[in-house]
Chains A and B, each alone.
Chain A
Amino acid sequence: MMTHSWKFWGAFLLIIFLAFTVVYPLISILNLSFRGNSNMVWIDVLTDNYYLDTLVFTTWQAIASTLLTLLIGIPSAYAFARYNFPGKRLLRGLTTVPFVMPPLVIALGFIALLGEKGIINSLLQSMFNLDDAPLRLMNTIYAILIAHIIYEFTIVVRIVSTAWANLDPDIENAARMLGASQWKVFSKITLPLLLPAIIAAGSLIFVFTFTSFGVVLILGGANYATLEVSIYTLAAHLLELPAAGVLTVIQMTITIVLMAFYARYQQRAALSFNLVPNKATTMHPRGKFDKLLCVSNYIIVLIILSPLVALIVRSLISDGHITLTGFTNLFSNERDSFFFVSPLQAITNSLLFGACTVAVAVPIGIISGLLLGNSANWRKALLDSILMLPLGISAVTMGFGFLIAFNQWGLNLTGSWTIIVIAHATLAYPFVLRSILPVLRTITPSLREAAQMLGASKGNIFTRIELPILWRGIVVGAVFAFAVSLGEFGATLLLHRPEHTTMPIAIFRYLGQPGESNLMQALSMSCILMFISTVGFVAIERLRFRNLGSF
């Protein structure tokens, strides 16, 4: 009786949460979009070559971004998983920083680094005596792909390295001893065992880039559009809701179907085996190969972060001089604006929203993970893909949905602080789910059975066995939840009161006005955002609770 009840209640509450935060707003907006005779719209949109091209572009750039990020991220994940090197935690924290930066800020970093007057072009020009800038990446597909790699790199690093760190090296060593080549060990043993984690990371990246909005809108110029950009143009500016609705449904269907296949595949790929504590698998780099790997890891991360470094440099230089005015000006409200918040206030707000988001998203993620659990079937796969919906639905559509859905029966949207947290948590829990699922599925059932035989209750098994093993996955999920909240922009902008201004909102406000001082303040606030998020990520990773965290 009791064994079923928690699952029942967990599922029940999850459904209520999802119904409230996802399904109800979605139905509200689609209902409005398709009011009246809308069959023609379907035909119009489906037969319009432009939208077909957009769909093709959206898909291939997402596939390309996912593969490229995995390619670059997996070696780095290996280094993070297997070696202890100085500054490891800080370096891993840094990989997540781009994740919270507004695309507009990343774009400015790009320009400072790779623009025609950027650092690299200037260097190349002076080195080779060139008249024109040799690198012209801005407003091309390359800018979009590079930005996607910068944003999503951390997903591979964190999710894959967590799995890798608990992989027993003895399995590999045994195979080596039996005469298998290094490549054979990797392709026949390591890769299959890591596959669930790689797929988890890959699916997240795919969904993220498939619905990419800010990066494409800002870095691609007007020449590139994903479905999400088209939905934004149609809904927000042209008010052609029926067409936007059709695209939303198409985008959502594709994500659900793909995610269901992913989930199903992931269930099958999951092998349960003995996980070992992370301490037993990491070592200090000894041989040449080890050292080379660690050094290249530093270099990879540095390259990923280079636009941000360029931005920090830019924030300190105005008119050829080194200056701190951008930072000092942040603190003064000499013009007494109604919308002014001190940077300290903005930092506090961001941290509070972040902490609340973690507190809400992590339990939801754990419950969804336990519900999906070990049983593998299509029903679970479909549930899995539906749970991923917050990332797969058009954010623009959801924004409108929230407005319509939660503006009835005396609900007051603007005043509420909680609704911002709910919006952040809805976007964040899929990360928690994806972070713990690969670990959850590898726990050997015999561990549970043994404990059960020894008389442990369900709850005991969870707290004594599953939770300690899951802890690292949970921490990774918490880091992402925190990052999602820190960087979230669209929902916050609409729902916040001036006193709830977060760091990205402040950056955006400065960049909305012309003038050097505004630019400098925006860049300085971006630097503060980078610093605070790094500190936050490292702090979350250090979280320990009794014996939790040592695995």
Chain B
Amino acid sequence: MIKLLCLFLAFLVTGIMPLACTAEETPSSPKELTILTHDSFDIGAAVIAEFEMEFNATISIMKGGDAGEVINKAILTKTNPIADILYGIDNTFLSRALEENIFIAYRSPLLDNVPDSYHLDLGNRVMPVDVGFVTINYDHALLATKGLAEPETLLDLTDPSFKGTLVVQNPATSSPGLAFLLSTIAQFGETGSYTYLDYWRDLKDNDVLIKNGWSDSYYGDFSIHGGTRPLVVSYSTSPAAEIFYSEGKYTTPPSRIITSTDSAFMQIEGIGILQGTSHEILAKHFVDFAMDRTFQEDFPTRMWVFPVNKLAVTKGVFADFAEKPATSTRLNSDSIAKNRNRWIKEWTEVVIR
């Protein structure tokens, strides 16, 4: 029996070895393209199948955590890349990744269909692929019950009447949380009589609740899903998604967003080919494919972000209710890269510790 156990263990250890060998690719067998992306990535099965058919490829998707974690994983493994493509690097993490030189430059011909304001990198190491806006969502019905006016600007949230109504995410652990912090920095600045830290002190005095992740704040604390707080940091498309996923219950959104100038933060997500890929040509095809209409028109009601391709047409609930805040703050991504950790630390000192 003991011998049997040992034998089993020996079998196990030798069983690990085959992992070290991957199948040899013959010319006719499909090539495997691995895409590293964040947890929120979603796309139609038919869209992926179309690419696989056309290019005799197999797509493998690796989800490495939220946007920030994914970039860091790509940077950590740059000497032995874990994927061929990274999908979902946004302007808050761009410079860091570019400094680490993890991408191969490739200018997709489809970039011509993308408005200049969405271009991410002059060196073409990252191609823009989708865009989203982080802003305050609010439960207007509850505000009305409480006799509160609907907030119009970020500054309104410091008004004592909004005490205990807002839940935001920790910028040290959450992408939307970081985007919201950046929007306050862009709006209030670091110098002058009222800095972003003064703003956060006021929010803190107004009993802002800080959660570590989007899911726990949105489903745990936001009032439309059983929480008690009528204001939450989320995406500008979340009200439209609420209709889409309501099984016909809502015909108008149960929540609204603050749309005033400079209250939202624009997150442009990009796609890049990772250095060290052995499928460079196929990867380039995929970049083109992701920027093309089929792909761009498929993801809006899955990832709840806007297409960047001018020719892409959105449909249904997304077209009717997804709002693009008119102007949105956009900090220079170099300055974000340079200051991100310092800002987060300063914020943590003021708000949490």
Contacts and interface: CB of A to CB of B under 8 A. Distances in A.
Interface residues of A, number: 87
A237 interface: yes
Contacts of A239: 72, 75, 96
B77 interface: yes
A227 to B, nearest CB: 15
B219 A493 contact: no
Nearest to A230: B172
A32 B72 contact: no
A145 interface: no
A317 to B, nearest CB: 10
Interface in B15-48: 15-16, 19-22, 32, 34, 39-40, 42-48
Given A236-B72, A338-B47, A364 B9 contact: yes
B13 interface: yes
A6 B4 CA distance: 10
Contacts of A409: 20
Interface in B216-231: 216, 218-220, 225-228
5 contacts: A14-B9, A233-B172, A325-B247, A337-B45, A407-B77
Nearest to A222: B210
A13 interface: yes
A367 B19 contact: no
A185 interface: no
A252 interface: no
A500 to B, nearest CB: 11
Given A17-B12, A400-B73, A108 B220 contact: yes
Nearest to B238: A514
Interface string B195-237: 0000000000000011111111011100001111000001100
Interface stretch (A79-87, A256-264, A383-391, A415-423): A415-423
Nearest to A225: B352
Given A217-B213, A222-B352, A338-B61, A233 B173 contact: yes
Interface string B162-203: 000000001011000000000000000000000000000000
B341 A493 contact: no
B69 interface: yes
B11 to A, nearest CB: 10
Contacts of B48: 338
Nearest to A364: B9
A39 interface: no
Give the interface size class of chain B: 35 or more
Contacts of B218: 514
Contacts of B220: 107-108, 111, 115, 138, 218
A459 B1 contact: yes
Secondary structure call for the A interface: helix
Contact of B45 (A223, A336, A463, A494): A336
Nearest to B2: A6
A338 B43 CA distance: 6
A91 interface: no
B19 A411 contact: yes
Interface string B258-297: 0000000000000000000000000000000000000000
Nearest to A103: B216
Contacts of A493: 39, 63, 65
A514 B245 contact: yes
A17 B6 CA distance: 12
A363 B3 CA distance: 11
Contacts of B352: 222-223
Interface in A375-416: 400, 403-404, 406-416
Contact of B302 (A337, A370, A497): A337
A395 to B, nearest CB: 13
Nearest to A233: B172
Contacts of A10: 2, 5-6, 9
A422 B39 contact: no
Nearest to A403: B77
B242 interface: yes
B219 A319 contact: no
Contact of B69 (A236, A363, A407): A236
Contacts of A512: 39-40, 214-215
B129 to A, nearest CB: 16
A542 interface: no
B242 A459 contact: no
Contacts of A419: 19
B1 A463 contact: yes
A298 interface: no
A509 B61 CA distance: 14
A112 B301 CA distance: 29
A422 B62 CA distance: 18
B110 interface: no
